[in-house]
Amino acid sequence: MPFSKSDQSLPLVWLLSSHKAGECSQLKALASALAWPFKHIQLSHERFRLPLDLARLSGLHGLDANSRKALKAPWPDVILCAGVRSEPVSRWIKKQSGGKAKIVLIGSNWAHYRHFDLIISTPQYRLPERSNILHNHMTLHCIKRHEALPANKEPVITVLVGGHSGPYTLGTKAALRLSKEINQLAQERHARLLISTSARTPAAVKQVLQQQCRSDKELFDWSKDNTRNPYLSYLQAADEIVVTGDSIAMLSEAVATGKPVHIFDLGSGKNAMQVVSGNKGGVADDDFRLSAFTYKILMRTGPQRLSRDIRLVHEWLIKNDYAVWLQPPYLPSGRQAPDETLATVARIQKLLATDE
Q: Where are the domains of the chain?
A: 13-140+341-353, 156-325
Neighbouring C-beta atoms of residue 232, cutoff 10 Å? 13
Instruction: Please give the pLDDT value at position 147.
Output: 55
With 60 as the cut, is the pLDDT of residue 343 above it? yes
Q: What is the DSSP string of 183-216?
A: HHHHHHHT-EEEEE--TT--HHHHHHHHHHS-TT
More confident residue, 123 or 142: 123
Phi, psi (degrees; rounded to nearest 5) at 300: -80, -35
With 60 as the cut, is the pLDDT of residue 53 above it? no
Of 6-10, 24-28, 263-267, least confident by mean pLDDT is: 6-10
Encode pLDDT of 116-128 as tens digits: 999 999 999 999 9
Tell me, yes or no, if the two domains 13-140+341-353 and 156-325 fold the same way.
Answer: yes
Of 55-59, 115-119, 207-211, least confident by mean pLDDT is: 55-59
Q: CA–CA separation, 103 vs 90, rounded Å?
A: 7
How far, in Å, are 56, 84, 132, 177, 279 from residue 51 at the CA level? 9, 11, 27, 39, 41
Instruction: Please give the pLDDT value at position 120.
Output: 98
Q: Rounded mean pLDDT of 1-21?
A: 74
Instruction: Please give the pLDDT value at position 60.
Output: 87
Q: How many CA atoms lie within 13 A of 8 on its CB side?
A: 0
With 90 as the cut, is the pLDDT of residue 223 above it? no
Q: CA–CA separation, 42 vs 69, rounded Å?
A: 11
User: Mean pLDDT of all residues in the chain?
Assistant: 89
Encode pLDDT of 235-287 as tens digits: 999 999 999 999 999 999 999 999 999 999 999 988 999 975 444 566 788 88
Confidence of residue 304 (pLDDT cuts 50, 70, 90): confident
Assigned CATH topology for domain 13-140+341-353: Rossmann fold (3.40.50)
Q: Rounded mean pLDDT of 111-136?
A: 96
If one looks up domain 156-325 in CATH, what number appears?
3.40.50.720
Q: Rounded mean pLDDT of 81-105?
A: 95
More confident residue, 241 or 6: 241
Classify burial at 344, counting beta carbons within 10 Å of its beta carbon; exposed 0-12, middle 13-18, buried 19 or more.
Answer: buried
